[in-house]
Amino acid sequence: MHGLANRFRNLTGCARGNACGLAAGLLLMLSTGCGKHTAADEPGALVTVQVAHPVQGTIARHILSDAVLSPLAQAALSPRISAPVRRFYVQRGSHVKAGQLLATLEDRDLAAVAIDTKGSYSAAQAAFSSTSGAQVPEEAVRSRLDVAQAKATRDLDASIVAARQRLFDQGAIAGRELDTARATLVQAQAAYDIASEHLSALEAVSRKATLEQSEGAMLSAKGKYLGAEAQLSYAEVRSPIAGTVTERPLFEGETAAAGTPLITVMDTTALLAKIHLAQSAAQFLSVGDTASVTLPGVSEPVAAHISLISPALDPGSTTLEIWLRLDNKAGEYKVGTPVRTSVDGQAIANAWIVPAAALLNEQGGGKYVMVLGSDSAAHKRAVKVGITEGDRAQILEGLSSSDVVITTGAYGLDDGTKVQLGTIGGDGDSDKHGGAN
């Protein structure tokens, strides 16, 4: 038995390939079968461990998260007015197009208001046309005639004054007649000045003010008419998007309240799984990266891709929102389904990989593994870990290809503890990766 134990302790230095693993297993079976009880029953029994070599391969960062499926687009249509529903044109589950009429509300009172305001608008338009086309030009013509008449009177009185001045100079008339003519000329000049100023004011101010007043009345009437037309249009509920009707809570005749959803339309030709990731995890992702979504009752994950990465962190959670889009043209998947998502992140080729079960936690943080030394003892080795993918972990620093890492049985072992060998493999699989070198 002592000879078998010595041969076992030398095994870690001489094993090659799968044959070495098989020989180790055979020696272990012989050593445990020679007596009526196992080595673990004896005082100072060795701990049996399983080991593996680090292997090179490709490892990818898979980011897992939970989400709920959302529609590609959604419109919860709420009426702008409160009125009874006159008619519905769709049922729940109906497929609709953008712009399609979905329902109408009672609108006879609104139609009457629209007709009334339209009449007022038409009257205001006519008044504006009359003011701008007839009234203002007529006043301008009258004012110009007044100016011309006043000018003619002034010129006549001026000629009379000149004639009487000559007669007065000749001594033919008394001075009183000259003074009377001069007074008449002053009055004619004043009448002319007043008429000229009135014409100037009419052309510069009055005409503009009259036109603006008439135009303002017309615009006010137009605004009331457009408002009434808008209120009337609110009685028709149309879909802004193409999709499927998912909610229709009322029946015809029931009153639809303003601001309360009357019909909900969703575009489910594609669905979105919206996840939130830490910035450190999202920094390696790009729009278009592949992903998968696992749904309840669906045997295989559904292919998806990243369609949006939020440009800003959520202020509450300091995470980034990322949208995963999956095709749903067949309508197999339903909005509101809770799902598990996996995003394919950074992939690293030729990475050194060990089973994730080999990693142990330091008390002060960090990771370490136990390696099997040539002295058949377990030794502590600090390592730097990169990507962890399922049951595999990338080792950045601390191990070489010749190291034999304890994958099972290392927990609680002290540095230097003697162990006995179970299986030598690579990445936990001796048949796939070969034995120790």
User: In the prediction, which pLDDT does 282 show?
Assistant: 87
Burial of 43 (0-12, 13-18, 19+ CB in 10 A): exposed
Helices 175-201/136-170 angle, 10° precision: 160
Superfamily the domain 62-73+266-347 falls into: Efflux pump adaptor protein, beta barrel domain (2.40.30.170)
DSSP state of 40: G
User: In the prediction, which pLDDT does 129 show?
Assistant: 78
User: In the prediction, which pLDDT does 93 show?
Assistant: 92
User: In the prediction, which pLDDT does 44 show?
Assistant: 56
- In DSSP terms, 425 is beta-bridged to 52
Backbone φ, ψ for residue 61 (5° rounding): -85, 115
Q: Are 309 and 320 in contact (CB under 8 A)?
A: yes
* 437 residues of the chain, pLDDT tens digit each: 333 334 334 333 333 333 333 333 433 333 444 433 433 344 456 888 899 999 999 888 788 899 999 999 999 999 999 999 999 999 999 999 999 999 999 999 999 999 999 999 898 888 877 766 655 566 767 778 888 888 888 888 889 888 888 888 888 888 888 888 889 889 989 998 998 887 777 666 556 677 777 888 889 999 999 999 999 999 999 999 999 999 999 999 999 999 999 999 999 999 999 999 998 888 888 999 999 999 999 999 999 999 999 999 988 888 999 999 999 999 999 999 999 999 987 778 899 999 999 999 988 888 999 999 989 899 999 999 988 888 899 999 999 989 999 999 888 888 899 998 865 554 444 333 333 33
DSSP state of 150: H
Q: Are 424 and 405 in contact (CB under 8 A)?
A: no
Whether CATH 2.40.50.100 fits 79-106+239-256: yes
CA distance 149 to 151: 5
CA distance 323 to 326: 10
CA distance 436 to 15: 6
User: In the prediction, which pLDDT does 18 show?
Assistant: 37
Q: Are 85 and 253 in contact (CB under 8 A)?
A: yes
The pair of structure tokens assigned to 53 is: 């070599």
> H helices within 279-379, ranges in order?
279-282
The pair of structure tokens assigned to 426 is: 């690579």
Residue position matching structure tokens 């909610």: 247
User: In the prediction, which pLDDT does 13 show?
Assistant: 37
CA distance 365 to 371: 19
Q: Are 337 and 295 in contact (CB under 8 A)?
A: yes
Q: Can you give the pTM of this predicted structure?
A: 0.57
CA distance 11 to 20: 8
User: In the prediction, which pLDDT does 146 show?
Assistant: 84
Q: What CATH number was assigned to the domain covering residues 2-59+349-433?
A: 2.40.420.20
Radius of gyration (Cα) for the chain, nearest Å? 50
Could you give the 3-state DSSP secondary structure of residue 422?
A: strand
CB atoms within 10 A of CB 250: 17
Of 73, 24, 35, 49, residue with least CA distance to 407: 49
Burial of 26 (0-12, 13-18, 19+ CB in 10 A): exposed
Task: From residue 299, give the alpha-carbon distance in Å to each of 89, 185, 295.
Answer: 39, 114, 8
Could you give the 3-state DSSP secondary structure of residue 289?
A: coil
Domain ranges of the chain: 2-59+349-433, 62-73+266-347, 79-106+239-256, 109-233
